[in-house]
Chain A
Amino acid sequence: MQHPFAITLDVGTSLANHTGSWRNERPVYVDRLPPCNAACPAGENIQDWLFHAEAGNYEAAWRSLVEHNPLPAIMGRVCYHLCEGVCNRAQIDAAVGINAVENFLGDLALKKGWAFDTPTRETAKRILVVGAGPSGLSAAYHLRRMGHTVEIHEAGPMAGGMMRFGIPKYRLPRDVLDGEVKRILDMGVTLELNQKVTDILWAMHEGSFDAAFLAVGAHIAKRAYIPAGEASKILDAVSVLRSMEGREKPLLGRRVVVYGGGNTALDVARTAKRLGAEEAIIVYRRTREKMPAHDFEVEEALEEGVLMKWLSTITQVDEGVITVEKMALNEKGFPQPTGEFESLEADSVVLALGQDVDLSLLEGVPGIDVKNRVVQVDMNMMTGSKGVFAGGDMVPSERTVTVAVGHGKKAARNIDAWLRGSSYAPPPRNELAGFDKLNTWYYGDAPKTMRPTLEIARRVSTFEEVTGGLDETNALYEARRCLSCGNCFECDNCYGVCPDNAVIKLGSGKRFRFNYDYCKGCGLCAAECPCGAIRMVPEAIHS
């Protein structure tokens, strides 16, 4: 080639210069585990469904949600949302209202009539689920999705378990419960009501079942011995709440004392107020801080006018009056009697002292291990009896709907594996996306949208739902507050901030790729990634 005067080389582009050889660290895209997902007892992929929700793809969001939890409308109301407790956004302003968005998606699905996919193949394996509570329903759903034939035997007259007979209507409207149960049955799950299983091995043999999942719950009220006069009225919380579902509402009188400090005690006291009691008093032997009930429920009860008597035990119940002894905490924090007594007027006393499991169906079954009045299961949710799995309130657990749903899913996966002669190996967990992994500069300031709370006056006289849902605008707003911790949300920061143009954008939904021919390993992409989805990894040193 002819060159002009004083020019000896051809002109070329710097693309010939592979600056990637300068690098001693390389960036790699990672998916870290968001704290919300890590905390969810039902194993939901919250970050993923919020990702779809914030784009307005509500059906995609709902479908992602029900991959793990078939009861989002229920969960959006009764879950104690551990996810929000660990949300990284709380360190910027306030946690994302995950539970409220879940509620919105669940309600939208019911309104639009979105159905679950029916299984694409049938395995011809038959599985008996005992109990149609949250755990049994969750297991039935997951097992059915895997193509198994599922039959639920429920002792009660209606499905739902404690969601129907324990959780009051003002927290969970029954049409929501019915809608979500029906959707599971519509997949081809058989539900037999009023079908109490009294002998599990016999029931399995009789119905030719290949495996069973037991989720009978804990419905037997614990009693305590309290000296009582003849005309005194002592009830238990389980039967009070259960009778709320029947025609005859319980007769509690004008002044109701509830004995206990758990969520059930609060449910009863709030129910009593709604039934017209002038006074509902909770008597609890320890302090408010020591109460097992959730703080927001205590707050709501106090707002509704429920009275609390801390550090007190009931020593005597007579007609229209009870005797209470004051307690004091000793240096170890345990309540001790003080010998100081007082009288309280009370037309009825409701004991809310916890519940036990009816284990009669397991009597005589070899290998079953019962400790602390609950059934022991191994890591795979299987009892000591081969093919018999158990979950929910009847196994050692925190007794919540969400935990029960998680048990159902876990048991289903293990039952499926067991039926194939293998065992379920959960995929390894990603590294946690802690707050230190984020660059929060890029997130706008956006306070949490509050779900409208019904005015107190209306609340105490009716059984209307206390916490209202979000509408579409504020649900969208709330979903967009998600930081997407540890998972790329395609903000283009890495693509933009690379001084070497070494990030390749693959297009919408396809994320990005590094061009290691030119990446010098400066780490700007990792430092400026808002959500911590890039990790710098040392290059191997070649000798």
Chain B
Amino acid sequence: MNDMSKTLDAVQKLKFYQKGTLTVGNRLVVEDERSVQASLDRSNALTCGHRACQGCGEALGARYAMDAAMRVTGGNLIAVNATGCLEVFTTPYPETSWQIAWFHSLFGNAAAVAAGVAAAMRVKGRTEVRTIAQGGDGGTTDIGFQCLSGMFERNDDVLYICYDNEGYMNTGVQRSSATPAAARTATTPAVGDAPGNVFGQGKSVPRIAVAHGIPYVATATVADLHDLEHKVLKAMSIHGARYIHIHVPCPLGWGSAGHDTIRLARLAVESGLFPVFEAEYGHVTGTRKIRHKVPVTEYLKLQRRFTHLFKGSVVDEARISRLQAICDRNIDEYKLLASQGDA
């Protein structure tokens, strides 16, 4: 065998599909390797007619996650929803967009209610029925935080999914503890010496969840369906407290175009601003590598909540470089570049 044919052999062994590797479906791969979303019989847990804005990332993320969970449980699923966009736009009385057993109580108690649902199912001997709690970042990182931490430390058999759109969008775009630094919201206006949200505040609930040492914690985005579905399926294969934090761009609150929702989720990952990882029992076990690294400005420029950084001829270099530093720190900490090896 000469050198050239050796090289060719090496190339052929890659075996990936040159197109469709990253797409929702792929006619060239066998059925059971395709995503749940690609199938004709996906459950459409969140169906048409809901009142989310054009290009809503949360509506998309919720269908992705719930359809995967419905598939793996054979429909034996109860979802408990915190108050928030997701609850409001899907269930204006007396209509519902949910095609699953769905329960809403209060803004702050979704984790506690879900823990109760799981306990009730256990008492009734309905072990096949699984429980999911879900909410936005407000209902999770702020208002529902105590109930969430309690559910974690008790290791209740609940998967909690947070759809993080980085603010209270339903009530008029107020800041939450998940709002990024420098972002303009109704409560952090772009005025004065330090426009937008303050640097050095807020919290990372995925890291706090990891610190609870629960069986499974993961972050995901609507830009990577295969990764998101994989994480939901994996979470559903485990019992005990589990947490998935999904980044869902919000055209209304971020001031972005509806057609840019997935692009923004992708740029958040590719810039390093939103690290995608998973952790088991308190330790990070895997990260999603950056494919084509971009500067954070690529992400910021598509959003009106950051336009004050680029106003006119004056570019707020200081704040932009602080945001870039956050990205770089994430990249180092989670080893987000392929060249950095495994985390």
Chain A residues proximal to chain B, CB less than 8 Å: 7, 9-19, 22, 54-55, 441-444, 446-447, 449-450, 452-453, 455, 473-474, 477, 480-484, 489-493, 495-502, 505, 507-508, 515, 517-518, 520-524, 526-528, 530, 536
Q: Which residues of B contact A450 (CB under 8 A)?
A: 4, 8
CB-based contact B259/A526 at 8 Å: yes
Inter-chain CA distance A473–B26, complex, in Å, is: 19
Q: How far is the CA of A22 from the CA of B14 in the complex (A)?
A: 46
Interface centre among A15, A19, A450, A501 (most CB of B within 10 A): A501
A443: chain B residues within 8 A (beta carbon): 18-19, 21-22
Tell me whether B258 and A522 are in contact (CB under 8 A). Answer: yes
Q: A480-B17, A495-B38 are in contact. List 12 more A-B contacts (CB 8 A).
A: A14-B51, A442-B23, A443-B19, A444-B16, A444-B19, A450-B4, A474-B8, A501-B44, A505-B40, A507-B40, A522-B55, A526-B259
Contact with A along B13-48 (1 / 0, CB 8 A): 010111111111111100000110110100010111
Give Cα A489–Cα B17 distance, bound, in whole angstroms: 13
Kindly report which residue of chain A lies nearest to residue B248, judged by CB atoms: A499
Question: Which one of A9, A12, A491 contacts B26 once the chains associate, using CB atoms below 8 Å?
Answer: A491
Mark each residue of chain B from 77 to 112: 1 if its CB lies under 8 Å from any CB of chain A, else 0.
Answer: 000000000000010011111000000000000000
Contact (Cβ within 8 A) A499 B59: yes
Given contacts A14-B50, A22-B54, A527-B259, contact A452 B22 (CB under 8 A): no
- For the complex formed, measure the closest distance between the CB of B77 and the CB atoms of chain A, giving whole angstroms: 18
In the bound complex, do residue A17 and residue B27 qualify as a contact, i.e. CB atoms below 8 Å apart?
Answer: no
- Interface presence of B192 (CB below 8 A): no
Give the CA-CA distance A324 to B315 in the complex, in Å: 65
12 residue pairs from A and B, CB less than 8 Å apart: A15-B47, A54-B28, A442-B19, A444-B21, A444-B22, A483-B19, A496-B24, A496-B225, A499-B261, A520-B258, A524-B258, A527-B262
B98 to chain A, nearest CB (A): 9
Determine if B48 and A515 form an interchain contact, defined as CB atoms under 8 angstroms apart.
yes
In the bound complex, CA of A505 to CA of B40 (Å): 7
Given A492-B37, A517-B48; A497-B60 close (CB under 8 Å): yes
Q: Which has the most chain B C-beta neighbours within 10 Å: A453, A500, A520, A527?
A: A500
Least Cβ distance of A408 to chain B in Å?
A: 33
Is the pair B266, A441 in contact by a Cβ cutoff of 8 Å? yes
- Complex Cα spacing A483 to B257, Å: 26
Which chain B positions have C-beta within 8 A of A483? 19
Task: Give me the 4 closest cross-chain CB pairs, A-B, nearest first.
Answer: A492-B25, A496-B24, A14-B49, A523-B259
Chain A CB within 8 A of B280 CB: no
Task: Determine whether B260 belongs to the interface, using a CB cutoff of 8 Å to chain A.
Answer: yes
State the Cβ distance, B150 to closest chain A Cβ, in Å: 31
Does B24 lie within 8 Å of A501, measured CB to CB? no
Cα distance A489–B60 in the bound complex, in angstroms: 23
Given contacts A13-B49, A499-B60, A524-B55, contact A491 B262 (CB under 8 A): no
Are B22 and A441 within 8 A (Cβ)? yes
Report the bound CA distance from A5 to B2 in whole Å.
83
Which chain A positions have C-beta within 8 A of B95?
Answer: 11-14, 16-17
Type the 1/0 row for B202-217, where 1 means its CB is closer than 8 Å to any CB of A. 0000000000000000
User: CA of A324 to CA of B21 in the docked complex: distance in angstroms?
Assistant: 59
Complex Cα distance, B251 from A12, in Å, reads 28
Query: Roughly how many angstroms separate A515 CA and B19 CA in the complex, as a whole number?
Result: 27
Cα separation A520 to B261 with both chains bound (whole Å): 14
Cα-based distance from A75 to B252 in the complex (angstroms): 55
Shortest beta-carbon distance from A335 to chain B in Å: 39
B82 smallest CB distance to A (angstroms):
19
> Which chain B positions have C-beta within 8 A of A449?
8, 11
Tell yes or no: B12 within 8 A of A by CB.
Answer: yes
Q: Are B47 and A492 in contact (CB under 8 A)?
A: no
Quick one: which of A12, A473, A477, A518 contacts B18, CB cutoff 8 A? A477
A305 CA / B49 CA spacing, docked (Å): 72
Q: Tell me, rounded to whole Å, the shortest Cβ–Cβ distance linking B192 to chain A.
A: 34
Which B residues touch A16, using CB under 8 A?
A: 49, 95
User: Do A444 and B24 contact each other (CB < 8 Å), given the known contacts A14-B47, A449-B11, A499-B52?
Assistant: no
- Whole-angstrom CA separation of A13 from B98 in the bound complex: 8
Q: Which residues of B have CB within 8 Å of A453?
A: 4
Q: Are A446 and B16 in contact (CB under 8 A)?
A: yes
**With A17-B51, A482-B19, A500-B50 as contacts: A452 and B261 at CB distance below 8 Å:** no
